[in-house]
Amino acid sequence: MNQPANELTWKSLGACLEKSRRKQKMDLHDAASALRLPTRTLLAIEQGSCQGLPSIYLRGHVQRYISLLNQHDPSLDDVSAETLFKQQHDTDSETAAGQKNLLPAALPPAPAQRLFDNALRIASYVVVTAGVVIPLVWWFTQGAVRMSFDETLVSSSAPVSTATASQDEAAEVASIRPGHFSASAAPFASMRPARPGNPGGQDMLSSQSLLPATYQLNDTATPAPRPPLRALPDADSATASSASGFDLAAPGAVQLQLRMLNDSWVEISDAAGERVEFDLLRSGQSHQYQVQLPLDILIGKASAVDVMLNGMPVDLSPHTRGNVAKLKLAELPSPQ
C-alpha cells in the first residue's frame, strides 16, 4: 500500500490484500467466513477482477476486508483505496449514463449545462414579462393620451356653446366632434366624472358614445351629412343654444324642447331613424334639439315631461298608456 495513488489499480490492491492475508496466515475461507462473503467474491477482489460488482458493494466489501486485515496488520490503510472507489464510482456513472435503462449517478449537471439552463430560464422570464407588461403599458398610456385629448376637445367646445363663439368655430367643432369619438375612447366615457350643472354626469361624450360604432367611424371619413347636434343640457341655456347650436341646424328643422318635471326615460329618433336622445333625463333639466320631422318619441313617464315643438306644447295624453307615452310626431301641433 506504499504505492502512489495514481499507480494503484484493482489488481495491485488485491495483491496487497492477499499478501497481507498470507502474512497473517489467514485462510481465504476463514476471511470469507469472517466477512460473511462468498469465497469467490473475496477471490475476485484479491485477483483484481471485481469491477463487475456495483460500486456500493465493492466499496463495502473492500473496506470491510481492509478493516479485518488491519486488526493484525496496521500497515494497511484504506486511504489509497478511496481513489479506486472513486474511479469505480465514476466508471459506474459513465456506464449508467450510457445505457438507457440504467440509473445515472446523482451527479450535479455540468457547469455549461447549468449556465445554459439558467440563461434559458431568464430568457423565458424576460420574454413572458415583456409579452404581458408592454401591451398593458401601451394600452394604459394610449388610453390616457386619448382621454386627455377628449377632455381638451370638450373644454374647447364649451365656448362654442356660448354666445361668444363664432359660427365658423362651431362648424369646425361640429365637423370634428363625431370623428374624434373612436371606439377606443368609449371605455373611458364611463370613467368621466359628472360636470357641474350636469347632475346626471351626462355630457356630449356620453351621449355620443351611445351611437353605433360603425356610424361614428364612417362619419369621420364623411363629415356631412352631420348628425343632429345636441345643446348642452343646461336649464338656462336657451339664449346660448339659440346663438350656437341652433345656428348650425339644417333648413326645415324644428325645435323640440323637453322640460323635465321628474326623472324619466326618453327615447327620440329623427326622420333618418337616428337617435337624438336615448337616456334617463333628470328632474329640473331642460333639453332642446334641432331635428327633422317626423320624430318617434317614447317617454317612460309621460306625466314627468313637458314636450314642446317650436314653442307649442304637445299633448301626450292621447298617446299615453299606463303613463308611458309613445307617439310619432309628423307635423307641428296646431296652435290652441
Supply the minimum distance, in Å, between the C-beta of residue 98 and other proteins: 14
C-alpha cell at 249: 341646424
Q: Are strands 320-321 and 324-329 parallel, antiparallel or unpaired?
A: antiparallel
Of the candidates 12, 26, 64, 207, which one interacts with other proteins according to CB under 8 A? Answer: 64
Of the candidates 121, 183, 187, 315, which one interacts with other proteins according to CB under 8 A? Answer: 121
- The reply on whether position 87 binds other proteins by CB under 8 A is no
Residue written as cell 327620440? 268
Residues with Cβ within 8 Å of residue 62, at least 6 apart in sequence: 13, 17, 45, 50, 78, 81, 84, 85
* Residue closer to other proteins, measured from CB, 105 or 248: 105
Of the candidates 9, 75, 77, 103, which one interacts with other proteins according to CB under 8 A? Answer: 103
Contact 256, 286 (CB under 8 A): no
- Measured at the CA of 43, the angle between CA 41 and CA 49, to 5 degrees, comes to 80
Question: How far apart are alpha carbons 91 and 89 in whole angstroms?
Answer: 5
- The reply on whether position 187 binds other proteins by CB under 8 A is no
Neighbouring C-beta atoms of residue 311, cutoff 10 Å = 8
Supply the minimum distance, in Å, between the C-beta of residue 33 and other proteins: 10
Strand arrangement of the beta sheet that strand 286-291 belongs to: 286-291, 254-260, 305-309, 312-313
* Residue closer to other proteins, measured from CB, 128 or 213: 128
Site for other proteins in 34-63 (CB under 8 A): 35-38, 41, 53-57, 59-61
- The reply on whether position 30 binds other proteins by CB under 8 A is no
- The reply on whether position 124 binds other proteins by CB under 8 A is yes
Stretch that binds other proteins, among 15-23, 109-117, 211-219, 324-332 (CB under 8 A): 109-117
Question: How far apart are alpha carbons 90 and 94 in whole angstroms?
Answer: 6
Three-state DSSP state, 275 = strand
* Residue closer to other proteins, measured from CB, 11 or 121: 121
- The reply on whether position 106 binds other proteins by CB under 8 A is yes
- The residues that touch other proteins, with contacts defined as CB under 8 A, are 35-38, 41, 53-57, 59-61, 64, 89, 92, 100-106, 108-109, 114, 117, 121, 124-125, 128
